[in-house]
Copies of this chain bind each other. A is one copy, B any other.
Amino acid sequence: MMKFELGCHLVYSIYEPSTFVFNIGVVHNQHQQVEQEKLQIYPRLEIEEYNAPFSGNRYLRLNAPKCQMEVSYQATVKVNHCFQDPHQIREVTPANLPLEILPLLLPSRYCQSDKLINLALSEFGNLSLGYSRVTGICNWIYEKVTYLSGSSNPHTSAYDTATERVGVCRDFAHLGIAFCRALNIPARFVTSYAYGLNPPDFHACFEAYLGDRWYLFDPTRLVPQTGIIRIGTGRDAADVSFATIFGTVEMNEMSLSMQPLPDPNTGKVGQPFSTTEAISIS
């Protein structure tokens, strides 16, 4: 068990009445218990909340007038990671996957798995099946793709990154997902708060469905995996942008914070750590 206080603060100049759909709230599930949570909007605006049925993603819609708007989200979250021995975790064939998971095998806007099948088979087709094959994919990405801020743009997709070999966390995740799907391993995009990211920012990684659940993978190796708190999951970045905006708007400020809190029982502060065990928070 670990406990974190985390949050974000966003400031926008809104030049005409505009609609925002935010996806910044931590997902509530058995692994992530939210003890306290506070959302503040200035000016005060009506908020509609929509919890997506499968993913549990928490979308907030705001219709804002011309104004300067501030959005603050703050939460205290207890995380119970599920740790597993990677050697015991097997791939599940399409014959046996839960039917509602099959869509996560399909290509999506930024994960053109249909065009990466030969590449995936050539690079990973001979690896032994199971959790370790997805680790192999992450190692490949870590070794062959350069992490470089500003090197990609919102249109950049896995098809580009496979060849251009440079990108940011979002691109690393898209490529990991595309490779998994090309090998018939369901995979989905994860947005998160992440402890230790420097400079602080929203983080992106991915989950692959193996055995009987979704396991977390982060090919960037930028942060300790146990410091990742899940916000949303989707087919790719399009589904879980922290802010989808309809209108003429400028973002003036974005700051994120995250710190471990003491365990109420032991009084000890749990430091996020890296691990070679398999981790699930879904």
Q: How far is the CA of A107 from the CA of B154 in the complex (A)?
A: 12
Establish whether residues B63 and A155, one from each chain, have CB atoms under 8 Å apart when the complex forms: no
Establish whether residues B164 and A118, one from each chain, have CB atoms under 8 Å apart when the complex forms: yes
A90 CB-CB contact with B under 8 Å: no
B residues near A116, Cβ cutoff 8 Å: 163
Query: Which of B61, B115, B118, B144 is within 8 Å of A146, CB to CB?
Result: B118
Establish whether residues B115 and A246, one from each chain, have CB atoms under 8 Å apart when the complex forms: no
Establish whether residues A99 and B50, one from each chain, have CB atoms under 8 Å apart when the complex forms: yes
A165 CB-CB contact with B under 8 Å: yes
Q: Report the interface size for chain A: residues with CB under 8 A from the other chain.
A: 44
B residues near A72, Cβ cutoff 8 Å: none
Establish whether residues A119 and B163, one from each chain, have CB atoms under 8 Å apart when the complex forms: yes
Establish whether residues B114 and A48, one from each chain, have CB atoms under 8 Å apart when the complex forms: no
Q: Tell me how many chains of this kind the complex includes.
A: 4
Q: Chain B's nearest CB lies how many Å from the CB of A58? A: 11
Contact A115 B48, CB 8 Å, known A19-B93, A103-B239, A107-B238: no
Establish whether residues A163 and B162, one from each chain, have CB atoms under 8 Å apart when the complex forms: yes
Within 8 A of B (CB), among A142-197: 144, 146, 154-155, 159, 162-166, 184
Establish whether residues A114 and B155, one from each chain, have CB atoms under 8 Å apart when the complex forms: yes
Q: Chain B's nearest CB lies how many Å from the CB of A81? A: 29
A112 CB-CB contact with B under 8 Å: yes
Establish whether residues A238 and B155, one from each chain, have CB atoms under 8 Å apart when the complex forms: no
A100 CB-CB contact with B under 8 Å: yes
Contact A115 B53, CB 8 Å, known A184-B246, A239-B106: no
